[in-house]
Structures are given as C-alpha cells and as structure tokens.
Amino acid sequence: MRKKLLLPTDFSENSWNAIVYAITMFQKVQCDFYLLNLFQSTGYSLDNFMVPEPGEKNYEALQEKSGNGLARTLERITELEDNPNHEFFLISEYNSMVEGIKNCVAKKDIELIVMGTKGNTNADHVIYGSNAVQVMDQVTNCPVLAIPTTARFKRPKEIVFPTNYKTHFKRRELQHLVELVKLNNSTLILLYIAEDDTLSKEQQENQKLLLENLDEVSYKLQNLHHPDVKSGLNCFVESRDSDLVTFVNRKHGFFEQIVSKPLVKDLGYRSKVPVLALHEFPE
C-alpha cells in the first residue's frame, strides 16, 4: 500500500528543505506526495463574508501565482530525483493554513504531514513559526514532522521520546513512531527527566504498558536528573547530538508544556532537530 504524505509549502527555502527531507527519508518507500499551497488575500478573512470567489480578478491572480509556484516546486523536485517509488500531486486552495491542512488530510487520507518550522519570513529569532505551532497543536487527526531550516537529512540513529510516565499510551497512538523507527533502523530513547528516579505505582504501570507497545523496535530507558524538564531535554539532545525528538500531543500534557509559546523560545535545540508530533486517540 502506498504511503500518503502532505507537504505544505509557501515556496520558502524552509518549506523546500522540508520537502527534500521528506522525499529523502522515504526514498525507498512507495509514496504519494501532496504538495499543498494555501493562499489568502490581504484584507479578506475567512471569518466574514468578504471572501473572493473564483472568477473574481483578485482570486484568479492569487490562484495563478499559487499554481505557478507549485509548478516551479515540482520542477525542482524532478531535477533532484527520478524515483519510480514517488508520485506528486499539486493542490492549490484558498484557505487558512490549519483549515486547509485539515481538509486535505481528511480528503486524501494523509498519514503524515512534513513541513518547515518557519514561514517565508524565516526570522532568526523565531524558532517555531506560528503556522508550525498551530498545525502541530490543532491538526489532531494526523502526525506532523516539523523540519528546521538548518536540518539536513541523515538517517535518525537516535530518536528521543521524553515522557513522565504519568499517562498511558495506546499502541495505535505510537503506530507512526514505530514505523519511523523501523524505517530508519533507529534506537528510541525513552527519556525520563526528574530530580530522582522514583516512579509511583501508576508510573510503573504506564511504563510497562509503553514498553509492551514498543516491542517491535529497539529502545533504551534513560533517566536524567534535572529540576527543569525543558532545559533538561535541551541539554540531553544537544549533548548526544540526537537526530529527532517526538511527543504525543495531549491536552494539558507533556507536549503542551514543552511547545507552549512562552517556552518555545527557550528550546534552542529546536532550531536544529526535527520534531515529530503525534496525537492522542480519544477513549
């Protein structure tokens, strides 16, 4: 069965870098890649009735610009690779980033979103652009792999999965992570960050279930004594030159603690290391 991936692009070099990362990681996998460009008009809003419609001059100009940009991106891809495993489809849509991606995920049965962490401004002081944060947080029906501008693809030998063992993980929530670990022959590091190693009975039970759900992959348990989770994670990833970090995004959970906007600027490693955001399944 072919794997379906969504590659949102605003035609920035950051989004191009994410595209290259994706097609390289999955070069031996049969994939359908959907290149998605979402456009909107200044002065218009999806929240009111002043939305340009097909046939209007403003809409047609925006759609033409979007279509031309997608065509140029596809040309760059064909210059980069000639891979019989890969097919590419172009989608141009008038919509907001989050709603457009949600629609495409639902209509095309997308299994993974791969996108850049910054927009076309690529401001140095912005580690995670607002689009990337919003997509990771609000598109809850599909995992998101966010690729920083400086990240060049290399097979991830080590994937760091920080967890406090305070919640249990379902096997299907970890499905995409397991597939990624298998694809790259990676080792998964289960990182517990706390001031001591003591686990409550509930934490021990959650840990046991997690390990059972990871029985198909290579993993290591790692404890890090540190009073602060975000800086502890930062130190761990930098000291080991880890290749990728993954979270399960739960409401009021570990991911939210790390990625919430006041904390994003403190996580310097995010400018270098790709992040895979998984999502919880309802009970």
* Residue 46, in any domain of the structure: yes
215 occurs within a structural domain = yes
Query: Considering only 5-19, 109-123, 161-175, 224-238, which range has the smallest mean pLDDT?
Result: 109-123
Is residue 7 located within the same domain as residue 114?
Answer: yes
Has residue 209 been placed in a domain? yes
Q: Are residues 122 and 174 in the same domain?
A: no
* Paired strand residues for 162: 191
The answer to whether residues 96 and 175 belong to one domain is: no
SS (H, E, C) the chain: CCEEEEEECCCCHHHHHHHHHHHHHCCCCCEEEEEEEEECCCCCCCCCCCCCCCCCHHHHHHHHHHHHHHHHHHHHHHHHCCCCCEEEEEEEEECCHHHHHHHHHHHHCCCEEEEECCCCCCCCCCCCCHHHHHHHHHCCCCCEEEECCCCCCCCCCEEEEECCCCCCCCHHHHHHHHHHHHHHCCEEEEEEEECCCCCCHHHHHHHHHHHHHCCCCEEEEEEEECCCHHHHHHHHHHHHCCCEEEEEECCCCHHHHHHCHHHHCCCHHHHCCCEEEEECCCC
Same domain (yes/no): 142, 168: no
Q: Which residue has the higher pLDDT, 180 or 261?
A: 180
pTM: 0.88
- Same domain (yes/no): 27, 102: yes
pLDDT tens, 104-135? 999 999 999 999 987 554 444 344 456 777 88
- Residue 257 counted as domain residue: no
From 122, 147, 172, the end of a domain falls on 147
Contact indicator for 192, 165 with CB cutoff of 8 Å: yes
The answer to whether the beta carbons of residues 69 and 61 sit under 8 Å apart is: no
pLDDT digits over 172-181, tens only?
999 999 999 9
Q: What is the pLDDT of residues 11-64, one digit of tens each?
A: 999 999 999 999 999 999 999 999 999 988 765 555 555 566 666 777 788 889
Report the alpha-carbon distance of residue 46 to residue 113 in Å, rounded. Answer: 23
Whole-angstrom distance, CA of residue 204 vs CA of residue 206: 5
CB 274 within 8 A of CB 237: no
29-43, 145-159, 200-214, 256-270: least confidently modelled range: 256-270
Looking at residue 263, its pLDDT comes to 39
The length of the chain, given as a count of residues? 283
Lowest mean pLDDT among 29-43, 108-122, 150-164, 237-251: 108-122
Q: Are residues 139 and 165 in the same domain?
A: no
By the 8 A CB rule, do 126 and 112 touch? Answer: no
Which structural domain range is residue 213 located in?
158-247
More confident position, 45 or 84: 84
Is 271 a member of any domain? no
Which tops the pLDDT comparison, 128 or 240? 240
Q: Is the pLDDT of residue 10 over 60?
A: yes
Residues 11 and 143 in one domain: yes
